[in-house]
C-alpha cells in the first residue's frame, strides 16, 4: 500500500471538480424534486422517474447502464470499463426516500430543494440522493477529464432501502456475478460531527413489527360499557410496556442471549471520542438523555440493542374529548439489533412473550416486517487506509473510526454474498434531519464528498485487485 499522497487527484480531474460545482448542485436539485417515497403506493410514477433520472445521469457520463426489473422497484446498475489487475469497487446507494410528513413542519416544501445558509433542504438531500450522487459526480468528472480511471467502478442504486431492500435481497444471488467486487463503498451515514469526518465500521440491524389489539366490533360509549370489557388501548399499553423495563433494558426472555459485547479495546476507542451527554440533550431538545445503565451514550446508540415505538394509534385522534372504548389499538415498533443477534430468532421470542401476556377479552395480531442483522467490518485494511487518505485530502482532517446505530439492510448480505469488504463513508451530519422535517445536506460537504470520492478512486487504484 502506497502511503497517503496529499495530492492524489489528477490535475485535470481536480480542475473539473472546481469548475463544475454549480452544475453538480443543479443535478442534485433536479433529482430531489422527484418525490420518490418507496412506502407510498401513490408515488409509483415518482419512483420510476427517480430511477430514470439516475439511469440517464450514468448514461450521459458514458457508462454502460442497465435497469434491472424486480418484483418491486427497479434497480439501476452502471459500470466503467474493467481495468486489468486493479480492484473493482461497487458503490451502493438508494434513490428512495422516507415520507416527508408532517408537511406543515417544513420551512420550504420537501420536494422544492432550497439552499439556506449553506445547507440544501429537501427530503433525500442527505439520505441518500445527495450522498450517493457524490460518487456518480466524481466518476463522471474522471471520465470527462480524459484521465484513465485506475480501477473499475460499478454502481447499484436501488429503490427499496427505506422499506427493507427485499427485492434486492431476492435478486442478490442472481446478480452476484454482475456485482462481483473487492470492496463495497456506501455513503449513507454521517460524519462524527461538524468538521470531523468519520469512517463507519459497524451498523446495527433491525427488526420491525406491528401489533394490533382488537376488542369490540365498533367503538363503544365508555359510560355504558366502561368496566365491562377490556379496553384494547389499555391492553396494548400493558403489552408494549412489558417489552422494556424502566431502566431501558429489553425485557423479552432470551433477547440478550447472542449479543456480542464490544471488546474492551473498542469501548476505549469509542470512549475516547469527543462529545458529552448535556450537549446532545440540548441539541435534541430533551431535559436529559436516557438508556440502559452501564453503557455510554455512544455505546448505547451503536453497539447495544434498543427498542422503540415508532407509531401508536387508537381511539379518538381529533380535537376535543370523546368518551369511547376504541374498538382496536395498533402500534408499530422496532428493535435495533447488534451482532450476533438473529432477527428471526428475536421475532419468535417477541411473539412468544407477547402471546403469553395477552390480557383476556381481546384478540392479538402480530406482523413481522423487515429484519436485518447488524454488522461490523474491519477497522484496518488497505481499503480503510485508502479511504482515510482520500477523506483527509478532501476534508483537511483525518477521519475517526465510528460505529453507527442506523441500519442498511443489505450490507450484511453484501458481505456474505460478495465476500467483499465494506467502506461506509458518510458525508452527512447527525443533525441533517434524515427521516425528519427540514432534512438538509451541507453544500460544502456535498462538494467535499465529491472530492473525497475522486481521491478515493486514485487511492484504491494503487491497490491490486483480487483477480
Ligand atoms: N441511511 C440510513 C441508515 C443509517 C442511518 C446509517 C443512520 C447510519 C446512521 C438508511 O436510509 C435508513 O434509514 N435505514 C433504515 C432501514 C429500515 C427502514 C429497514 C433505518 O435504519 O431505519
Ligand atoms: Mn439511507
Ligand atoms: Mn433512511
| Nearest ligand, CA 206 | 1
Pairing of strands 152-158, 88-94: parallel
CA–centroid distance, 219 to ligand 1, in Å, is 37
pLDDT in tens, the chain (467 residues): 444 455 689 999 999 999 999 999 999 999 999 999 999 999 999 999 999 999 999 999 999 999 999 999 999 999 999 999 999 999 999 999 999 999 999 999 999 999 999 999 999 999 999 999 999 999 999 999 999 999 999 999 999 999 999 999 999 999 999 999 999 999 999 999 999 999 999 999 999 999 999 999 999 999 999 999 999 999 999 999 999 999 999 999 999 999 998 888 888 999 999 999 999 999 999 999 999 999 999 999 999 999 999 999 999 999 999 999 999 999 999 999 999 999 999 999 999 999 999 999 999 999 999 999 999 999 999 999 999 999 999 999 999 999 999 999 999 999 889 999 899 999 999 999 999 999 999 999 999 999 999 999 999 999 987 65
Residue for cell digits 463503498? 185
Alpha helices in 151-206 (DSSP H): 166-179
d(CA 347, CA 242): 15
Instruction: Give residue ranges with CB within 6 A of ligand 1.
Output: 127-128, 161-162, 164, 188-190, 203, 206, 370, 404, 406-409
Give the phi and the psi of residue 390 in degrees, each rounded to 5. Answer: -65, -40
Nearest atom in ligand 1 to 163's CA: 18
Residue 136: all three cell numbers together: 456518480
User: Can you name the residues that pair with 97 across neighbouring β-strands?
Assistant: 37
Domains of the chain: 11-203+374-461 (3.40.630.10), 205-259+305-371 (3.30.70.360)
- Is the Cβ–Cβ distance between 182 and 466 less than 8 Å? yes
Nearest atom in ligand 1 to 206's CA: 19
CA–centroid distance, 204 to ligand 2, in Å, is 13
Ligand 1 pocket test: pick from 408, 409, 435 the residue with the most ligand atoms within 8 Å of its Cβ. 408
Question: Around 190, how many Cα atoms within 13 Å sit in the side-chain half-sphere?
Answer: 19
CA–centroid distance, 95 to ligand 2, in Å, is 9
Residue whose CA is closest, atom 7 of ligand 1? 406
| Nearest ligand, CA 190 | 1
Residue for cell digits 377479552? 361
DSSP string for residues in 193-239: BTTB-EEEEEE-EEEEEEEEEE-SSS-EEHHHHBTTB--HHHHHHHH
Residue whose CA is closest, atom 4 of ligand 1? 406
CA–centroid distance, 158 to ligand 1, in Å, is 14
* Residue (of 120, 56, 27, 45) closest to 439 by Cα position: 120
Residue whose CA is closest, atom 18 of ligand 1? 162
How many other β-carbons are positioned within 10 Å of the β-carbon of residue 403? 27
Residue 356: all three cell numbers together: 403469553
Q: Model-level pTM?
A: 0.94
d(CA 16, CA 223): 73
Nearest atom in ligand 1 to 435's CA: 13
Name 355's Cβ contacts closer than 8 Å, sequence gap at least 6: 364, 366
Residue whose CA is closest, atom 13 of ligand 1? 162
- Is the Cβ–Cβ distance between 154 and 79 less than 8 Å? yes
Residue for cell digits 401489533? 211
Name 178's Cβ contacts closer than 8 Å, sequence gap at least 6: 77, 154
Most distant CA pair in the chain: distance in Å? 81
Amino acid at each position: 500500500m502506497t502511503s497517503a499522497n496529499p495530492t492524489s487527484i489528477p490535475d485535470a480531474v481536480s480542475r473539473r471538480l472546481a469548475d463544475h460545482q454549480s452544475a453538480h448542485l443543479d443535478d442534485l436539485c433536479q433529482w430531489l424534486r422527484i418525490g420518490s417515497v418507496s412506502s407510498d403506493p401513490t408515488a409509483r410514477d415518482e419512483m420510476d422517474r427517480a430511477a430514470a433520472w439516475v439511469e440517464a445521469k450514468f448514461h450521459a457520463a458514458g457508462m454502460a447502464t442497465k435497469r434491472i426489473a424486480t418484483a418491486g422497484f427497479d434497480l439501476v446498475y452502471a459500470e466503467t470499463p474493467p481495468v486489468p489487475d486493479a480492484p473493482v469497487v461497487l458503490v451502493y446507494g438508494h434513490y428512495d426516500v422516507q415520507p416527508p410528513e408532517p408537511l406543515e413542519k417544513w420551512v420550504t416544501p420537501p420536494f422544492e430543494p432550497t439552499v439556506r445558509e449553506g445547507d440544501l433542504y429537501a427530503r433525500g438531500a442527505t439520505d441518500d440522493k445527495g450522498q450517493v450522487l457524490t460518487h456518480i459526480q466524481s466518476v463522471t468528472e474522471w471520465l470527462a477529464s480524459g484521465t484513465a480511471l485506475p480501477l473499475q467502478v460499478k454502481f447499484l442504486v436501488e429503490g427499496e432501502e427505506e422499506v427493507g431492500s427485499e427485492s434486492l435481497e431476492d435478486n442478490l444471488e442472481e446478480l452476484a456475478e454482475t456485482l462481483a467486487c473487492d470492496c463495497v463503498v456506501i455513503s449513507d451515514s454521517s460524519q462524527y460531527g461538524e468538521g470531523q469526518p468519520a469512517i463507519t465500521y459497524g451498523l446495527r440491524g433491525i427488526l420491525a413489527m406491528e401489533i394490533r389489539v382488537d376488542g369490540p366490533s365498533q367503538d363503544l360509549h365508555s359510560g355504558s360499557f366502561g368496566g365491562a370489557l377490556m379496553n384494547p388501548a389499555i391492553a396494548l399499553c400493558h403489552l408494549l410496556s412489558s417489552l422494556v423495563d424502566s431502566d431501558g433494558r429489553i425485557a423479552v426472555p432470551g433477547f440478550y442471549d447472542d449479543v456480542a459485547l464490544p471488546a474492551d479495546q473498542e469501548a476505549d476507542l469509542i470512549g475516547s471520542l469527543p462529545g458529552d451527554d448535556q450537549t446532545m440533550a440540548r441539541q435534541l431538545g430533551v431535559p436529559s438523555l436516557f438508556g440502559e445503565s452501564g453503557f455510554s451514550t455512544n455505546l448505547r446508540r451503536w453497539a447495544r440493542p434498543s427498542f422503540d415505538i415508532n407509531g401508536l394509534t387508537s381511539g379518538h385522534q381529533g380535537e376535543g374529548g370523546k368518551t369511547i372504548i376504541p374498538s382496536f389499538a395498533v402500534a408499530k415498533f422496532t428493535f435495533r439489533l447488534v451482532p450476533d443477534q438473529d432477527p428471526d430468532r428475536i421475532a419468535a421470542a417477541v411473539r412468544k412473550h407477547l402471546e403469553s401476556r395477552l390480557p383476556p377479552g381481546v384478540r392479538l395480531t402480530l406482523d413481522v416486517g423487515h429484519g436485518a442483522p447488524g454488522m461490523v467490518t474491519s477497522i484496518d485494511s488497505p481499503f480503510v487506509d485508502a479511504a482515510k487518505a482520500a477523506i483527509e485530502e478532501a476534508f483537511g482532517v483525518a477521519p475517526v473510526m465510528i460505529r453507527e446505530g442506523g441500519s442498511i439492510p443489505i450490507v450484511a448480505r453484501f458481505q456474505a454474498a460478495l465476500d467483499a469488504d465494506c467502506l461506509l463513508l458518510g458525508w452527512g451530519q447527525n443533525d441533517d434531519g434524515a427521516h425528519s422535517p427540514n432534512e438538509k445536506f451541507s453544500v460544502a460537504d456535498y462538494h467535499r464528498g465529491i472530492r473525497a470520492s475522486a481521491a478515493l478512486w486514485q487511492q484504491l487504484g494503487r491497490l491490486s485487485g483480487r483477480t
